[in-house]
Amino acid sequence: MAPVAVLVGVMGAGKSTIGAAVAATLGVPFADTDTIIEERAGKPIPEIFVDDGEAAFRELERDVVASSLRDFGGVLALGGGAILDDGTRKLLATQTVVYLSVELTDAIKRVGLGAGRPLLAINPRATLKYLLEQRRPLYLEVAAHTVTTDGRDAEEITAEVVALLRT
């Protein structure tokens, strides 16, 4: 079993919103690896970062992504940093990956000033800009499809993703 689609992108790209809508349209389940991580850890991601550190979070993330790619048959949204791991990128090479691209201005509008986002705790605008620049080549590396989300509503983006998946 493999996911119907795997959505990647930086925080604020719309992975959870679009993923749930695409899954509903296709009549398949939706899962978000960040939610699975929180369930397994028994605490929210910001607490994992504070209590256990980013390295522990990334290890848990790597395990959750690998098992989800193996066992989940719906639409799967990955956390924004999941693609930083070489092993994860190798696993994604065999998947239908959709990169939801967003530019800094729209990403900031969507995530606000980082409440509940540990990587945005200090200087959210500069950090988000850095994350976009650092991760964009990795998202493009794993993507079978790229969908621009800037200035578009969820229905329009969902329709484009569904059309790409049906071709």
Q: Considering the entire predicted model, what is its pTM?
A: 0.88
The answer to whether residue 166 is domain-embedded is no
The answer to whether residue 165 is domain-embedded is no
The Cα 55–Cα 96 span in angstroms is: 27
Kindly report, residue by residue over 28-50, the tens digit of the pLDDT.
Answer: 999 999 999 999 999 998 889 88
Kindly report, residue by residue over 45-99, the tens digit of the pLDDT.
Answer: 888 988 999 899 999 999 999 999 999 999 999 998 999 999 999 999 999 999 9
Helix pair 124-142, 104-111: axis angle to 10 deg? 110
Owning domain of residue 153 = 5-160
Cα distance from N-terminal residue to C-terminal residue, the chain: 20
The CATH number of residue 59's host domain is: 3.40.50.300
Does an H or E element contain 6, and which? strand 5-8
The answer to whether residue 100 is domain-embedded is yes
